[in-house]
């Protein structure tokens, strides 16, 4: 009998703004692998890499899957990957660098895992990926250039350090791609209401929009996010879909885990092209500029940085508009330096820890009838204009202003949420034993 081996496959960078989606390449590959009798271990992985990475075109997704197969079938699998990628990728687009990599699972070591975790948080070096692949991979291939190998390696070795969620992605038949997606929005709201809690972010109630259908000409019909596979399938079954569906696959993902976030104490430590969480005190009044973007400055006691809620974050901007100097907050967001602009954190969510007290000194209120009293002149006390009651030795009293915001978490609406960004209400899934 032949000995079986376990391998991890990573695929990335197969799409372009004109079409395709790497999840579809993975879907087709997994189906072919199963038809060949290869065993899929667990679920395919949909790994979102650094959302601030300048090389991404859309959601910076990379795909991984673990497979058990006969050792002597490895070349069959390799050819299957080559065929699938050649057949489906946007190979003619020179900025598309389709790539795949195969590791034996026993060779996935800390160096590879750390590289993959880093690719979610930072911009990583191609040379590092290439040297790790040279040392530990069984086989790798990059078309149009090697850049896609970064994501392929990351997705093959990724271990979900901050937990995971699921996404069911359904695919369109070829003839429908590029056409309007025929999914009844009302049924999406109904499916959401019937599964709320175990699915999330599938609609944006504030904006009255559904979130499950993309707007690109790619093979994805829709994606449903959630925490329970049966519940996601239930939501899918409740949808009214008026076009043929080629099929679907459920992925284990790092979406909504905040895995991209680097926790920092000092503004000075923020690296460009990363996403951070940091506490600070508000030091400026909010400022809304043309276009509707809102900016506020915060300090960690040493340095200052600007935080921003851009127009698409809609009602979230009101939270920023309610901040006042002296408020203590924690912010989550990405830092992408832009020419002629001060360093700015593009916010994903905010926690108001403490509100500074604002208010003014006022004349006392009449203890008899409750009317605001009038001053009788310097050091002469106060008299009530209504009941004429007099207070001889009274002083002005401090009356705190009512703030139109409370301490707590505030999220951008689902419509403006980054794939990796964790809604503050969500508790993600964790494998036992993971930190
Ligand atoms: P998708 O449309 O599938 O969501 P995308 O189109 O936004 O993804 P890709 O097509 O996967 O992005 O292209 C991103 C490219 O950037 C890939 O070649 C990948 O290897 C590379 N890349 C991704 N993350 C990093 C990172 N953290 N550092 C350096 N390069 C990266």
Q: List, for residues 222-239, the tens digit of each pLDDT value.
A: 999 999 999 999 999 999
Strands 245-253 and 39-48: parallel
pLDDT at 91: 86
CA angle 28, 30, 33 (to 5 degrees): 110
When pLDDT is averaged across residues 198-218 and rounded to a whole number, the result is 94
Average pLDDT over residues 157-161: 97
pLDDT exceeds cutoff 90 at 401: no
Q: Residues near ligand 1 with C-beta < 6 Å?
A: 12-13, 15, 21-22, 49-50, 53, 55-62, 97, 119, 123-124, 147-148, 150-151
Q: Is the pLDDT of residue 323 over 80?
A: yes
Q: Whose CA is nearest to atom 9 of ligand 1?
A: 13
Rounded mean pLDDT, 156-179: 96
Scored b (16 or more CB within 10 A) or e, 83-104 reads ebbeebbbbebeebbbbbbbbe
pLDDT at 17: 83
For residue 92, is pLDDT > 90?
Answer: no
Q: Which pLDDT score, from 0 to 100, does residue 434 have? A: 53
Structure tokens at 53: 């990475």
Instruction: Flag whether the pTM goes above 0.85.
Output: yes
Q: What three-state secondary structure class fits 45?
A: strand
Task: Supply the pLDDT for residue 435.
Answer: 47
Q: Measuring from atom 5 of ligand 1, which residue has the nearest CA? A: 60
Gap from CA of 50 to ligand 1 centroid (Å)? 8
Q: Is the pLDDT of residue 1 over 70?
A: no
What is the pLDDT averaged over residues 207-228?
95
Using pLDDT thresholds of 50, 70 and 90, give the confidence band for residue 2. Answer: confident
Q: Contact 434/161 with Cβ under 8 angstroms?
A: yes
Does residue 346 register a pLDDT over 80? yes
| Contact assessment for residue 155 and residue 62, using Cβ atoms and an 8 Å cutoff | yes
Give the Å distance between the CA of 150 and the centre of ligand 1.
8
Rounded to the nearest angstrom, the distance between the alpha carbon of 230 and the centre of ligand 1 is 30
- What is residue 221's predicted lDDT score, i.e. its pLDDT? 98
User: What value does the mean pLDDT take over residues 339-362?
Assistant: 96
CA–centroid distance, 101 to ligand 1, in Å, is 15
Q: Which atom of ligand 1 is nearest to the CA of 124?
A: 28
Residue 73 pLDDT more than 90? yes
Choose one of 21, 23, 52, 60 to mutate for the ligand 1 pocket test, by most ligand atoms within 8 angstroms of C-beta.
Answer: 60
If you measure from the C-alpha of residue 39 to the centroid of ligand 1, how many angstroms do you get, rounded to a whole number?
28
31 alpha carbon – ligand 1 mean position (Å): 24
Nearest atom, ligand 1, residue 14 CA = 10
CB 70 within 8 A of CB 3: yes
Q: What's the pLDDT band for 405 if we cut at 50, 70, 90?
A: very high
For ligand 1, atom 24: residue with the closest CA: 49
Q: How far is residue 149's CA from residue 153's CA, in Å, rounded to a whole number?
A: 6
Nearest alpha carbon, ligand 1 atom 17: 148
What the block records as the tokens of 334 is: 């990405």
Secondary structure class of 392 (helix, strand, coil): coil
**Interval 135-159 mean pLDDT:** 97
Q: 176 pLDDT exceeds 50?
A: yes
Angle at which helices 229-237 and 185-195 cross, to 10°:
150
**Residues above pLDDT 90, as percent of the chain:** 91
Centre of ligand 1 from the C-alpha of residue 112, in Å: 17
Ligand 1 centroid – CA 61 distance (Å): 7
Q: What is the mean pLDDT of the chain?
A: 95
Give percent of the chain above pLDDT 70: 99
């Amino acid at each position: 009998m032949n000995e079986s081996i376990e391998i991890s496959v990573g695929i990335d960078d197969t799409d372009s703004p004109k079409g395709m989606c790497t999840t579809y390449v993975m879907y087709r590959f997994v189906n072919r692998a199963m038809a060949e009798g290869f065993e899929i271990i667990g679920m395919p992985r949909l790994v979102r890499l650094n959302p601030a990475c300048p090389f991404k075109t859309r959601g910076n997704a990379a795909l991984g899957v673990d497979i058990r197969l006969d050792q002597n079938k490895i070349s069959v699998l390799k050819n299957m990957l080559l065929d699938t990628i050649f057949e489906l990728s946007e190979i003619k687009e020179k900025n598309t660098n389709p790539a795949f990599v195969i590791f034996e699972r026993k060779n996935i070591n800390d160096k590879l895992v750390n590289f993959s975790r880093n690719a979610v948080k930072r911009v990583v070096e191609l040379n590092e990926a290439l040297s790790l692949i040279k040392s530990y991979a069984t086989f790798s291939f990059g078309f149009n250039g090697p850049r896609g190998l970064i994501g392929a390696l990351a997705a093959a070795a990724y271990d979900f350090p901050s937990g995971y969620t699921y996404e069911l992605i359904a695919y369109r038949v070829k003839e429908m791609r590029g056409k309007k997606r025929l999914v009844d929005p009302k049924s999406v709201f109904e499916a959401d209401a019937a599964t709320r809690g175990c699915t999330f972010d599938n609609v944006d109630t504030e904006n009255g929009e559904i979130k499950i259908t993309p707007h690109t000409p790619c093979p994805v019909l829709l994606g449903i996010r959630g925490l329970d596979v049966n519940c996601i399938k239930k939501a899918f079954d409740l949808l009214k879909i008026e076009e043929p569906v080629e099929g679907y696959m459920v992925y284990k993902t790092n979406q909504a885990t905040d895995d991209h976030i680097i926790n920092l104490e000092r503004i000075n430590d923020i690296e460009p092209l990363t996403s951070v969480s940091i506490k600070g005190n508000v030091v400026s009044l909010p400022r809304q500029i043309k276009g509707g973007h809102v900016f506020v400055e915060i300090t960690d006691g040493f340095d200052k940085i600007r935080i921003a809620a851009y127009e698409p974050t809609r009602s979230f901007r009101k939270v920023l508009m309610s901040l006042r100097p002296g408020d203590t907050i924690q912010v989550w967001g990405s830092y992408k330096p832009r020419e002629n602009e001060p360093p700015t954190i593009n916010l994903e969510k905010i926690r108001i820890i403490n509100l500074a007290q604002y208010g003014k000194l006022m004349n006392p209120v009449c203890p008899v009838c409750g009317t605001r009293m009038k001053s009788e002149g310097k050091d002469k006390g106060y008299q009530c204009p209504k009941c004429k009651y007099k207070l001889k030795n009274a002083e002005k009293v401090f009356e705190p202003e009512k703030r139109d915001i409370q301490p707590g978490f505030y999220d951008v609406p689902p419509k403006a949420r980054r794939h990796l960004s964790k809604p503050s209400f969500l508790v993600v899934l964790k494998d036992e034993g993971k930190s």
